[in-house]
């Protein structure tokens, strides 16, 4: 259905054709098209006109082979290997659009690839010269990746990662202010009168973003003279099913709690499902808040209070950082601001009129 097998109807147009058409040498065509300032404006325009007339575009492969850049950025999504080909975290999905647009704005193509965290991904992209630089995206155990990142960096590979920003980062990172995000969620829940706030999310150093959110949470508690209680923290990774399990684990512990701060919206939504299955009402019995503001967050019932990360800005910053790295311009890691978005799921005090409910009580009701 696509024309004779293996036959392209036209011979490829090359820079030599443009040279002939414009009456200059092939080398000049190349210079003119690359915007080399040594080329005279008049020549540049003649070449540009010839290229347009013949619908010429520079061959990416030849250009990439001869020069030292490919004009391509690689976006690597890291996922834990899920058996069930499941959906991508919607938060990352919404960053994808902005990363793509930003790449285009800088004149780069974007190669995307899903990687399992365990796999030998480092060789592939930089070394086979598929891309000039790499953006790393994904929650995950960054600690396990550190040696690889350091090796890559030593080889001169340009890479920027999304996530936790810390001093010992093996590469330039862009992330949002997880600490203050976590603190503002906890403060908000405390303002609602909640006192026994559970935290659902792996708060170990294996998940530095969650860990920062938890640190913010703890600081807010501390400022209110409340001691953190380990029984209120349950590990979870960022998925609905993990959130559901974590909530069930929490319920099984039989401890009292009046709020849940979930380390991500997916965890929060999973947890709300578990609560609802037990007949526990949100926010009347338990206030719930998440993190990320995925598109779904405003549509669940009740709408989810969460922390908004500006994915547009995040994507743009990632790309800009990487481009600067490629151009050998100075660049530092960036912490982006976030803000709390209060929706109904966390309005606990308002949910009940009774002032006595402001004190700790059992979140578990039947």
Binding mask 64-103 for DNA (x = CB under 7 A): -xxxx-----------------------------------
CA distance 168 to 149: 12
* C-alpha–C-alpha distance, residues 58 and 245, integer Å: 54
For DNA, the closer of residues 54 and 228 by Cβ is 54
Q: Does 151 bind a copy of itself (CB under 8 A)?
A: no
181 contacts a copy of itself (rule: CB under 8 A)? no
Please tell me the distance from the alpha carbon of residue 157 to that of residue 153, in angstroms, as a whole number.
5
User: Which of a copy of itself, DNA, none does 33 bind, CB closer than 5 to 8 A by kind?
Assistant: DNA
CB burial of 308-343 (b: ≥16 within 10 Å; e: otherwise) equals bbbbeebbbbbbbbbbbbbeeeebebbbeebebbeb
Q: Residue 315 CB, nearest distance to a copy of itself (Å)?
A: 10
Residue 12 is a binding residue for DNA (CB under 7 A): yes
- At its nearest, how many Å lie between a copy of itself and the CB of residue 60? 5
Q: How many CB atoms lie within 10 A of CB 294?
A: 25
Yes or no: say if 134 and 125 are a contact pair by the CB < 8 Å rule.
Answer: yes
Mapped onto helix, strand or coil, the DSSP state of residue 208 is helix
Residue from the set 31, 196, 217, 343 that interacts with DNA by CB under 7 A: 31
Using CB distances below 5 to 8 A depending on partner kind, what does residue 30 bind out of a copy of itself, DNA, none?
DNA
Q: Which does 240 bind (CB under 5 to 8 A by kind): DNA, a copy of itself, none?
A: none
Residue 61 CB, nearest approach to DNA (Å): 7
Nearer to a copy of itself, 110 or 220 (CB): 110
Question: Alpha-carbon distance 109 to 147, whole Å?
Answer: 28
The interface mask with a copy of itself, positions 89-128, x = CB under 8 A, is -x--xx-xxx-xx--x----xxxxxx--------xx--xx
Closest by CA position to 115, among listed 83, 138, 92, 96: 138
Considering only the stretches 3-11, 26-34, 216-224, 251-259, report the one whose residues sit in contact with a copy of itself under the rule CB under 8 A. 3-11
Per CB under 7 A, the list member of 40, 86, 150, 301 interacting with DNA is: 40
Smaller CB distance to a copy of itself: residue 173 or 234? 173
Token digits of residue 11 = 């011979």
Contact status: 20 vs DNA (CB under 7 A): no
Residue closest to 212 by CA, chosen among 178, 165, 236: 178
> Could you tell me what percentage of the chain is helix, strand and coil, using 3-state DSSP and rounding each to the nearest 5?
45, 15, 40
Across 205-231, b (16+ Cβ under 10 Å) vs e yields: eebbbbbbbbebbbbbbeeeeeeeeee
- Quickly list DSSP for 220-244: HHHHTT----GGGEE---SSHHHHH
Stretch that binds a copy of itself, among 27-35, 54-62, 208-216, 228-236 (CB under 8 A): 54-62
One of 30, 70, 100, 334 touching DNA (CB under 7 A): 30
Q: Is 58 in the site for DNA (CB under 7 A)?
A: yes
Return residues touching a copy of itself (CB under 8 A). 1-10, 55, 57-65, 70, 72, 85, 87-88, 90, 93-94, 96-98, 100-101, 104, 109-114, 123-124, 127-130, 153-159, 171-172, 269, 295-296, 299-301, 312, 325, 328, 331-332
């Amino acid at each position: 259905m696509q024309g004779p097998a293996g036959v392209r109807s036209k011979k490829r147009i090359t820079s030599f054709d443009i040279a002939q058409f414009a009456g200059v040498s092939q080398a000049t065509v190349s210079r003119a098209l690359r915007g080399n300032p040594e080329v005279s404006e008049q020549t540049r325009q003649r070449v540009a006109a010839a290229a347009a007339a013949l619908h010429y575009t520079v061959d990416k492969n030849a250009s990439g082979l001869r020069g030292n850049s490919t004009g391509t950025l690689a976006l690597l999504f890291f996922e834990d290997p899920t058996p069930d080909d499941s959906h991508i975290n919607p938060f990352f999905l919404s960053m994808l659009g902005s990363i793509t647009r930003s790449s285009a704005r800088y004149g780069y193509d974007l190669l995307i690839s899903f990687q399992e965290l365990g796999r030998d991904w480092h060789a592939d992209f930089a070394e086979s010269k598929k891309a000039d630089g790499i953006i790393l995206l994904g929650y995950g155990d960054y600690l396990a990746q550190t040696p690889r990142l350091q090796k890559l960096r030593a080889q001169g590979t340009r890479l920027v990662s999304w996530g936790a920003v810390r001093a010992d980062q093996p590469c330039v990172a862009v992330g949002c202010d997880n600490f203050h995000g976590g603190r503002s969620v906890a403060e908000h829940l405390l303002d609602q009168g909640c006192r026994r706030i559970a935290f659902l999310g792996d708060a170990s150093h294996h998940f530095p973003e969650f860990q920062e959110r938890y640190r913010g949470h703890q600081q807010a508690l501390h400022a209110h003279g409340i001691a953190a209680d380990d029984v209120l923290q349950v590990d979870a990774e960022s998925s609905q099913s993990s959130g559901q399990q974590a909530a069930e684990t929490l319920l099984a512990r039989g401890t009292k709690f009046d709020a849940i701060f979930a380390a991500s919206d997916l965890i929060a939504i999973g947890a709300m499902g578990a609560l609802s299955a037990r007949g526990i009402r949100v926010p009347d019995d338990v206030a719930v808040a998440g993190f990320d503001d995925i598109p779904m967050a405003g549509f669940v019932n009740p709408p989810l209070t969460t922390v908004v990360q500006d994915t547009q800005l995040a994507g743009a910053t990632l790309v800009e950082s990487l481009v600067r790295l490629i151009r050998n311009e100075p660049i530092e890691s960036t912490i982006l601001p976030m803000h709390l978005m209060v929706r109904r799921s966390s309005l606990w005090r308002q949910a009940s009129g009774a002032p006595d409910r402001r004190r700790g009580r059992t979140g578990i009701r039947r």
